[in-house]
Amino acid sequence: MCVQIAAQVGHAAVGLYQALQEKNSWREMAWKAKKVVLQGTNVAHLLELQALALSLNLPTYLVQDAGLTQVESGSRTVLAIMGAEEMVNNVTGSLKLL
């Protein structure tokens, strides 16, 4: 299961980076940003966190799995959020490390 989690986190990091390709200021920040993996409770929780991040104008990327391995196709598994640490902490500050 740890390998699957690592793969999903990798998809989120790369997905967010690719989504920011056209926004040069964000792209540079995404590459250099600190990466922290935190634990959400379920898909509804991830969607709430994403909505809050978007309301703060933070870029996000929600992984929707293709279902080629252990995870059911279409499952939403990982949410990547990027921005200044204090802004991201406004969204994720209550979450525990994975």
How does residue 95 score in pLDDT terms, banded at 50, 70 and 90?
A: very high
CB 62 within 8 A of CB 77: no
Q: Name which residue leads in pLDDT, 30 or 33.
A: 33
Q: How far is CA 69 from the centre of its chain?
A: 20
Residue 32: pLDDT over 80: no
**Owning domain of residue 83:** 2-97
CB 17 within 8 A of CB 29: no
CB 84 within 8 A of CB 52: no
The rounded distance, in Å, linking the Cα atoms of 69 and 41 is 22
Residue 81: Cβ within 10 Å count: 23
- Domain total in the chain: 1
Q: Name which residue leads in pLDDT, 5 or 27.
A: 5
Which of 3, 7, 17 is CA-nearest to residue 80? Answer: 17
How does residue 56 score in pLDDT terms, banded at 50, 70 and 90?
A: very high
Residue 25's CATH number: 3.40.1490.10
